[in-house]
A and B are shown apart, each in its own frame.
Chain A
Amino acid sequence: MIPAQFEYEVADSVEHAIELLGSKDDAKLLAGGHSLLPFMKFRLARPATLVDIGRISGLASVTDDGDHLAIGALTRHHDLEHDPLVREYCPLLGYAAGLVGDSQVRHRGTIGGSLAHGDSAADLPTIALTVDADIVVQGPGGRRTVAAADFFKGFYETALEENEVIVEVRVPKLGDAGWSYIKFRRRALDWATVGVAVVVESGNGTIGSARIGLTNMGETPLRAAAAEEALAGVSRDGVAAAAAKADEGSDPPSDTSASADFRRHLCRVLTARAVEEALTR
């Protein structure tokens, strides 16, 4: 409820934030605060300094950048959910953003904050991985781009260096691909017990390619590679058999929400449903 003592700094630019991260011991970035602050209130996180990037201008916009959308890191979940460009070119992302937490969380939480937190039970990391987003990060030496597939490294662990800031998320336009995200959770405001995101290209009754992302099935968001492979080139009749491989290679947790076994079962059931739904979109 009451965090341990910390210093508070306001960054007025990305460069300033990077400088503060470099000059302060044990500094953490504060964006929407809806992942970090609860950790601090439970005293599970005790950063010595918070660097507030919430007032940096120009990081909370969605722009059309040709084959992809450029999404500023401070774009809030609520704004993603309702953004016309997101709705047109990557409705999967907007839909999933609308399922994050509750209304308060969606009005505060940011896409950059969610990705940087690296929680495998969160929705947006899975979506970024599923749509092959690129994450643009800026550090003392300038900018670099990290593919989502290379970004999530482990339990709450990402490719972000200590003095780097996520500035943008590049989300490829989905084009005609069908999509679905099924988030199984016990209450509307909960993290996913299991989530399955699907993007599928199909034609003439045959699936061309499918991308399947999994939420809360391991230490990081995962791609269901075996199921993706099994779906390529099959008809609708092949969906069930392919979905049965959805949990291959995963390592789901057992906790008070569900056992690992039940998560594996859910993963297979939800994958079949998500692919079916994606084929109708």
Chain B
Amino acid sequence: MATVERPAKFVGTSQLRKEDPELVTGQGGYVDNITLPGMLWVGIVRSPFAHARIGSIDVSKALELEGIVAAYTGADLEFAAPLVMAWPINAEVKNPPHHPLTKDKARYVGDPVAVVVAESRAIAKDALELVEVDWEPLPAVTDIKAALEPGAPIVHEEFGTNDAGSWIMERDSPAPRRGPSAPFFEDPDLVKIKEEYYLARLIPNAMEPRGVVVDPNVAMGEYTVITATQIPHILRTTLAITCGIPEAKLRVIAPDVGGGFGSKLEAYPEDAICLALAQKLNRPVKWIEERSENYVATLHGREMVQEIELAATREGDLKAVRVNLKASMGAYMRLITPGIPMLGAWLYHGCYECEGYDFQYTNVFTNATFTDAYRGAGRPEATYAIERAMDALARELEMDPVELRRRNFIATDKFPNYTIASGLTVDSADYHGTLDKCLEVLDYEGIRAEQRSRRERGERKLLGVGFSTWIEMCGLAPSRVLAALNYIAGGWDAATIEFMPTGTVRVLTGVSPHGQGSATAFAQVVADQLGLDYDDIDVLHGDTGMVPFGMDTYGSRGVSVGGVALFKAGEKIIAKARTLAAHELECAETDLEFEHGNFTVKGTDRTANIKALGFNSWTAHNLPEGMEPGLTATHLYDPPNFSWPNGAHCCVVEVDQDTGAVEIVRYIAVDDCGVQLNPMLVQGQVHGGVAQGIAEALYEEAIYDEEGNLTTGTMTNYLVPGAPEIPSFEIHDRVTPSPTNPLGVKGIGEAGTIAAPPAVINSVVDALAHLGVRNIERPATAERVWRAIQEAQA
């Protein structure tokens, strides 16, 4: 029999995912795998209109259907409070009440107005068609700019405007910026450019749509909510508020969850509706979202109009950046909707030095599905603006875009902990090093020569090369900074390590992974730190009845917050085990060395293994005076800073001048996410993220017609690319460990969607630049590319 070799260290090795055996053999337990005795099915009646007053709702015909149990309107199903919005960015923010079932009018196609409950899913579906709503359709507005025009239909009449409030860095940011931008834009000696970009609205498309099962114990007033969520802990709190049930009586479980990308970082109407129904009917209820329902009922991402201005010297020294955004909220403020653009506020000058910096955004209501966090949330938007604008500036200055970037990079010797122009402090980076690596892999000179040659030969297929030297802030902590930004929750997380009598270990984490592989990475950390076998460690998560209170998974925080909390809990384990070992070995704690799970008295062969110490602390037969039984420790970790991943991505495209078709021929990613616990997981995140970023750049776009209907309402016309559309990636790295945390980690979950869109669009524009093309709105469809060529040549 072959022996499996135990690596000297698990961290840094590509251990296969602990999560996979059950998932790839079809044994996973998703919400839709759950059937409970006596369970009823819930169907949601949704508005077919983008904007319509509700006259009356008649459920009587639905109630006549055999197998129907109940039907309720917004007037019948009472809630203690509207859905919770947790990020009132400042005093200006407009936060209209968002009832789980709307009462007065529908404000987007898909707005829930009534609910049916039936013995089967099919009966519920049939019953939906029998609910009669007396609609009074109103004019709708889905375009951001049109929504701000005088006379536009008003989504929430009580405000008299669709302007939902602004956030202005100069006024609202807790971190002072280096200086105002105005003097530079008034300086006649500087070169200025002003760009406007529209970021199309996106639909997240997690592979598993949403679903909820609620199991009530009405006699005890206790409820178990099993839901496809990224945030069981936060959701428990928001459900407690909306449904008026104490948190201690609510158990929220995120079972196997098939992807989220932010779309399951939400307090949705359906969670509250199902909880209220289970309470009212005293039977388990289940709701499973259909895909086309998902397209209107689950949050959308991105949509905004960006204005970005740069001022620079003729030599190419960036002096100032000024940014003004108008962001679509859709019809309501959901959990953190108004704060999403702010997550990019400090990143619009990218990884470049500058002196003056201004940023502001205005939130706008429209008759569209609410927006909220989508993979990268605020940071892809920022990176897109600055990386596109840097290319535009390079063209204006007739400089090579690589040379312009190099000239303005924050120098490597400024790190660690350099306060950038926007006012926050970046932990570590080597921007020159990542770009050097990217160029070395690319053969930049060779590509440019080929590009020139094709143009000279008049070839119909042109070559373009585009870069994105990106930076982000993730971890989304510390709590005191979040407080200064008016975010209601903290940014800390929790972990518990618990030794079992036989020497296996349970890890309980407050983060709630849903595809990331955190259980694998966390086991690697614990295996190394405590000298345990990787297979002896079981990582449990996503059940508020079992794990410590945490802040869940989003914003690339799993490892940089949850993983560090775990490491700190491990330090407590070692400290306690050391005390016990010294007691057993009759020596001073300082005489003990700890390595590979063994405490050894220095210079002797007297040793105590941590598993044996775990057993002895469980029996508690011979503990030092005052020591608590059990080898278990919990740590709640609040990081002192954000973490700052960065990288250099490059895309090479072929553009067919005659059809406008774009084909990616090479894609190179060099990322610095700090120390990599598991390179395979890192690469997996880059693969998926870049694919999603390419999707933003070339394929995906949620389109509403003039009446506010989503015309891209199915997977046949909302174009999620598949394997044939995605190139082979060339993935490399550069590691600058973060000095902020003992693991040296930063985060990688969002790198791809942050980096890829500007790299791709820059490459398409680069291919056509000699024809006079300066911008192509995303997604750069064949038709848009073709039209851009026609317009440039007209």
Residues on A lying within 8 angstroms of B by beta carbon are: 1-2, 4-5, 42-43, 102, 184, 186-191, 193, 255-259, 262, 265-266, 269-270
Contacts and interface: CB of A to CB of B under 8 A. Distances in A.
A100 to B, nearest CB: 14
A184 B659 contact: yes
B394 to A, nearest CB: 30
Contact of B121 (A2, A191, A255, A270): A2
B786 A256 contact: no
A258 B121 CA distance: 37
B67 to A, nearest CB: 12
Interface stretch (B18-26, B210-218, B236-244, B718-726): B718-726
A102 B126 CA distance: 31
A270 B783 CA distance: 14
A228 to B, nearest CB: 22
A2 B127 CA distance: 12
Nearest to A43: B129
A262 B783 contact: yes
B717 A257 contact: yes
Given A1-B290, A1-B292, A42-B292, A189 B722 contact: yes
A187 B699 contact: yes
Nearest to B781: A186
B313 interface: no
A184 B661 contact: yes
A265 B122 contact: no
Contact of B724 (A188, A191, A259): A188
Nearest to A270: B659
B723 to A, nearest CB: 8
A270 B699 CA distance: 21
A126 B725 CA distance: 25
Contacts of B721: 187
Contacts of B781: 186
Given A2-B122, A187-B721, A256-B711, A266 B699 contact: no
B703 interface: yes
B502 to A, nearest CB: 47
A252 B786 CA distance: 18
B616 interface: no
Nearest to A272: B658
9 contacts: A2-B122, A2-B125, A2-B290, A42-B714, A184-B661, A187-B699, A190-B719, A255-B717, A262-B787
A1 B294 CA distance: 12
B786 A262 contact: yes
A270 B661 CA distance: 12
B725 A187 contact: yes
B782 interface: yes
A135 B501 CA distance: 76
Interface centre among A43, A193, A255, A269 (most CB of B within 10 A): A269
Contacts of A259: 783
A39 B208 CA distance: 22
Contacts of A255: 717
B291 interface: yes
Contacts of A266: 659
Contact of A188 (B126, B722, B786): B722
B504 interface: no
Which 7 pairs from chain A and chain B are nearest by CB? A188-B724, A1-B290, A262-B783, A2-B125, A256-B717, A269-B658, A258-B783
A42 B122 CA distance: 13
Contacts of A184: 659, 661, 782
B292 A186 contact: no
Given A186-B782, A188-B725, A4 B661 contact: no
Contacts of A256: 703, 711-712, 717
Given A184-B659, A186-B781, A187-B722, 12 more contacts: A2-B290, A5-B122, A42-B292, A187-B699, A187-B719, A187-B725, A188-B722, A188-B725, A256-B703, A256-B711, A258-B782, A266-B659
Nearest to A191: B716
A258 B786 CA distance: 11
Contacts of B787: 262
Contacts of A186: 699, 719, 781-782
Contacts of B661: 184
Contacts of A265: 786
Interface in B390-428: none
A46 to B, nearest CB: 11
Contacts of B716: 190-191
Nearest to B290: A1
A255 B719 CA distance: 13
Interface string B286-304: 0000111100000000000
Contacts of B292: 1, 42
Contacts of B291: 1
Given A187-B699, A262-B786, A269 B659 contact: yes
Nearest to B790: A265
Interface string B305-323: 0000000000000000000
Nearest to B705: A256
Contacts of B782: 184, 186, 193, 258, 262
A102 B783 CA distance: 24
Contacts of B712: 256
Nearest to A102: B722
B693 to A, nearest CB: 16
Interface in B678-726: 699, 703, 711-712, 714, 716-717, 719, 721-722, 724-725
Contacts of B783: 258-259, 262
A5 B65 CA distance: 13
A266 B660 CA distance: 10
A262 B781 CA distance: 11
B125 A187 contact: no
A191 B715 CA distance: 12
B699 A4 contact: no
Interface in B80-125: 121-122, 125
Nearest to B698: A186
Interface centre among B125, B126, B712, B782 (most CB of A within 10 A): B782
A185 to B, nearest CB: 10
Contacts of B722: 102, 187-189
Nearest to B125: A2
Nearest to B660: A262
A102 B714 CA distance: 17
Contacts of A189: 722, 724
Interface centre among A184, A256, A259 (most CB of B within 10 A): A256
B202 to A, nearest CB: 15
A258 B659 CA distance: 12
Contacts of A42: 292, 714
A259 B783 CA distance: 8
Interface centre among A2, A188, A258 (most CB of B within 10 A): A2
A187 B721 CA distance: 7
A164 to B, nearest CB: 29
Nearest to A182: B659
A104 B714 CA distance: 18
Contacts of B659: 184, 266, 269-270
B334 to A, nearest CB: 24
Interface centre among B658, B711, B787 (most CB of A within 10 A): B658
B126 A4 contact: yes
A239 B267 CA distance: 60
Contacts of B125: 1-2
Interface in B742-785: 781-783
Contacts of A43: 129
Contacts of A190: 716, 719
Contacts of B711: 256
A42 B725 CA distance: 27
A187 B126 contact: no
A265 B656 CA distance: 13
Nearest to A255: B717
A187 B724 CA distance: 8
A247 B296 CA distance: 37
B694 to A, nearest CB: 12
A259 B125 CA distance: 35
